[in-house]
């Protein structure tokens, strides 16, 4: 099992909620995932602010577990 960061984006003009997964880094445990979020919130949010200028109403970061594929 490993952990990934997911960002949930909420917009001003719609009730649609979009989730995006941060794919550049994986974590061995929940704690290290949350620690990375705590230390890098602006870095993680910046691309979404640039993609959706003046449209974001709110956001939230989550750490979600994933299971590796067995070969």
pLDDT by residue (tens digit) across 8-52? Answer: 999 998 888 999 999 899 999 999 999 999 999 999 999 999 999
35 Cβ contact list (under 8 Å, min separation 6):
none
Q: Kindly tell me the burial class for residue 55, based on how many C-beta atoms sit within 10 Å of its own C-beta (0-12, 13-18, 19 or more).
A: middle
Q: How far apart are the C-alpha atoms of 10 and 15, rounded to whole Å? A: 7
**Model confidence, pTM:** 0.84
Domain ranges of the chain: 2-64
């Amino acid at each position: 099992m490993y952990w990934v960061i997911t960002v949930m984006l909420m917009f001003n003009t719609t009730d649609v909620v979009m989730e995006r997964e941060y794919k550049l880094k994986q974590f061995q445990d929940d704690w290290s995932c949350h620690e990375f979020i705590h230390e890098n919130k602006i870095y993680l949010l910046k691309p979404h602010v640039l993609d959706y200028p003046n449209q974001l109403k709110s956001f939230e970061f989550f750490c979600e577990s994933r299971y590796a594929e067995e070969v």
